[in-house]
Structures are given as C-alpha cells and as structure tokens.
Amino acid sequence: MEMRRRSWELVRARGATVAEGLLQYTAAGMTIEDLILADTHRLSVATKAGKVLIVESDIGGKFRVLAYVPGLWETRLKHLTRGAL
C-alpha cells in the first residue's frame, strides 16, 4: 500500500519522539504517528475529520490495514513526500 509506505517514510525522516515508542509528525493538516507496541508497529494518519489510515505491522513485516478512508489527505501526503526524504 503506497500510502502506508509514504507515511512511514515521512514520520521516520521528519518525525519527533513525543513519548517513549511514539514518533509524530504534523504538517498539511494531518498528523502521522508511529507507535511501537511490544513487537508491533501501529502507523496512523489523522486529519481534522479523524483517523484516515491505521496500519499494524509485526517484526516479520506482515501488516494489516485496520482503517482506510480515501480522501484529500492522500494528495497532501504525496506532495509532502515528493523527492528524497
């Protein structure tokens, strides 16, 4: 899933640690978080309307999409991730 990859790369490259195990990046009206829960990562993207993407992945790389709401946030994310991060 392209939006998962873009979100993860952006929060890893530009995010700040706001709590133990939590990276966060806010821009363009959205907040991207990467939360480490034991052996699981939970990536979420939220806008003013609420969470638009929630993905969990385990240490083996297997992931599952818990929530996905298409919308303008995808275009904003593409603009934020143009070029090298």
Q: Residue 57 half-sphere exposure, CB side, CA atoms within 13 Å?
A: 14
pLDDT tens track for 1-58: 789 899 999 999 999 999 999 999 999 999 999 999 888 999 999 999 999 999 999 9
Residue with more model confidence, 69 or 59: 69
pLDDT of residue 70: 95
Structure tokens of 81? 């991730």
pLDDT of residue 42: 95
Own/partner pairs for 61-67, CB < 8 Å, 24+ apart? 63/4, 65/1, 65/4
* Strand pairing class (63-68; 40-47): unpaired
Is the pLDDT at 82 greater than 90? The verdict is: no
Q: How many helices (H) and strands (E) does the chain have?
A: 2, 6
